[in-house]
């Protein structure tokens, strides 16, 4: 669904029409019952000391037993399987997203390009998956690229020395011990850190034609790195088995990351501050601010206006707003039409780090607007 809104500068700036499109590709192919080619499965386990989780992508040859392959791959990493109950209580959760300080809401990930078999395309594939996870507008989760590093990811068993938490979330190419293991993601259960290694023994590709597609694997592994387990939805990126290139998050993945890290700029309306809706008139129920776009998903400011009447969403309503900031003499205005959910979203492109407030100028609806400015605490862009 595309939301159309026009916002134009009325003092000194010129802004643009925005289209926010949510695309859900039609890919939904289940695994074959009798695979004619090797199958890639993903298995998860914990270390005996229970403070580390490992997710492993394992290649299973046709006719081979999946469970045996899974248990063997885990044993090779010094881990054992866990139950889904166990996972929900020990899985990684990045605490900075739950501390009500939006300024620290990011996970910095570094990349070691050594041994990259794709002539550097691995870096692009990795940062593409950052964009994919960051662009979930209903979630505040954010990956940020840190630096090129020469470190061996400290949680990965194949690195020299003991597995240790070094405070860095590193991604590297390594020759992994098991010839059937494509990739591993290690994370802490008590300490927030996630490290990833891809096995250089495989014939990795980035042109989308090969099962060993770098971006497909990074997208799945980064789902684990942010704290997701496996999904039972076979179209999901986080489904534990796949045989095809899949570089696009599916609805189930979006639900998952949004459940773990809901959008912090999306507060529930305070019922004490919201006036009782008056029958026979429309009102603006809520103004919501969300950041979106760009490398860190914080480039543009989105302002969503929700129009209701008698507790029902009002679609097709023309809404005009003005946006102002306390420390800038600039102001912006725009008009747009509400969608079926009663909302219209305005985009302020390349919004500066200012505090913004919204004034609703007009709402052309039937029944007519009550004219009341809704509760608006404004929003300060970090």
Q: Which residues bind Zn ion (CB under 5 A)?
A: 42, 55
* Residues 343/3, Cβ–Cβ less than 8 Å: yes
Q: Which is nearer to Zn ion, 42 or 216 (CB)?
A: 42
Instruction: Provide the minimum distance between the beta carbon of 43 and Zn ion in the complex, in angstroms, as a whole number.
Output: 7
Beta carbon of residue 172, minimum distance to Zn ion (angstroms, whole number): 18
In the complex with Zn ion, which residue's Cβ is closer, 46 or 290? 46
- The 10 Å Cβ neighbour count of residue 353 is 10
Cα–Cα distance measured from residue 351 to residue 346, given in angstroms and rounded to the nearest whole number: 12
346 φ, ψ to 5°?
-105, 140
DSSP letter at 96 equals G
Residues 58, 64, 67, 68: is their CA dihedral positive or negative? negative
Of 154 and 222, nearer to Zn ion (C-beta) is 222
In whole angstroms, the minimum distance from the beta carbon of 42 to Zn ion comes to 3
Q: Smallest distance, Å, CB 289 to Zn ion? A: 34
* Least distance to Zn ion, CB of residue 94, Å: 18
Nearest distance from residue 217's CB to Zn ion, in Å?
10
What are the b/e assignments for 85-116, b being 16+ CB within 10 Å? Answer: eebeebbbebeebeeeebeebbbebbbbbeeb
Residue closer to Zn ion, measured from CB, 235 or 343: 235
CB-closest chain residue to Zn ion: 42
Least Å distance, CB 215 to Zn ion, is: 15
Query: Which stretches of the chain are DSSP H helices?
Result: 66-76, 84-90, 121-134, 214-225, 251-260
Instruction: Considering the complex, state which of residue 187 and residue 282 has its C-beta at the smaller distance from Zn ion.
Output: 187
Can you tell me the distance from the alpha carbon of 102 to that of 72, in angstroms, rounded to the nearest whole number? Answer: 42
Main-chain dihedrals φ then ψ at residue 344, nearest 5 degrees:
-130, 135
Strand 331-337 versus strand 318-325 pairing type? antiparallel
Using CA atoms, how far apart are residues 34 and 214, in angstroms rounded to an integer? Answer: 25
Nearest residue (CB) to Zn ion, 196 versus 284: 196
Residue closer to Zn ion by CB (options 189, 304) is 189
């Amino acid at each position: 669904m595309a939301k159309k809104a026009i916002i134009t500068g009325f003092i000194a700036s010129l802004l643009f029409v925005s289209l926010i499109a949510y695309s859900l590709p039609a890919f939904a192919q289940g695994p074959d019952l009798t695979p004619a080619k090797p199958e890639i499965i993903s298995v998860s386990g914990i270390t005996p000391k229970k403070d580390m989780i490992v997710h492993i992508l394992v290649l299973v040859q046709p006719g081979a037993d999946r469970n045996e392959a899974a248990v063997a791959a885990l044993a090779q990493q010094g881990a054992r399987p866990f139950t889904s109950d166990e996972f929900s209580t020990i899985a990684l959760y990045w605490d900075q997203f739950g501390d009500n300080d939006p300024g620290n809401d990011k996970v910095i990930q570094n990349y070691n390009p050594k041994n990259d078999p794709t002539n550097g395309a691995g870096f692009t594939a990795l940062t593409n998956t950052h964009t994919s996870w960051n662009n979930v507008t209903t979630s505040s989760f954010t990956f940020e690229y840190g630096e090129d590093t020469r470190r061996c990811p400290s949680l990965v068993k194949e690195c020299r020395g003991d597995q240790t938490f070094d405070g860095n979330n590193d991604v590297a190419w390594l020759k992994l011990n098991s010839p059937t293991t494509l990739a591993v993601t290690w994370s802490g259960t008590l300490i927030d850190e996630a490290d990833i290694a891809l096995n250089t023994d495989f014939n990795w590709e980035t042109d989308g034609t090969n099962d060993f597609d770098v971006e497909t694997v990074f997208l799945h592994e980064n789902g684990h790195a942010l704290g997701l387990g496996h999904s039972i939805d076979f179209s999901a990126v986080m489904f534990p088995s796949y045989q095809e290139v899949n570089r696009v998050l599916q609805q189930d993945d979006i639900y998952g990351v949004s459940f773990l890290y809901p959008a912090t700029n999306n507060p529930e309306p305070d019922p004490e501050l919201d006036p009782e809706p008056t029958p026979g008139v429309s009102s603006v129920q809520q103004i919501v601010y969300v950041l979106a776009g760009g490398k860190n998903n914080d480039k543009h400011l989105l302002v969503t206006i929700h129009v209701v009447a008698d507790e029902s969403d009002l679609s097709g309503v023309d809404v005009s707003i003005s946006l102002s900031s306390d420390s800038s003499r600039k102001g912006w205005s725009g008009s747009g039409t509400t969608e079926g959910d009663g909302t219209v979203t305005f985009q302020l492109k390349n919004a500066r780090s200012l505090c913004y407030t919204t004034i609703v100028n007009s709402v052309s609806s039937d029944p007519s607007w009550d004219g009341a400015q809704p509760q608006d605490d404004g929003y300060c862009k970090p």
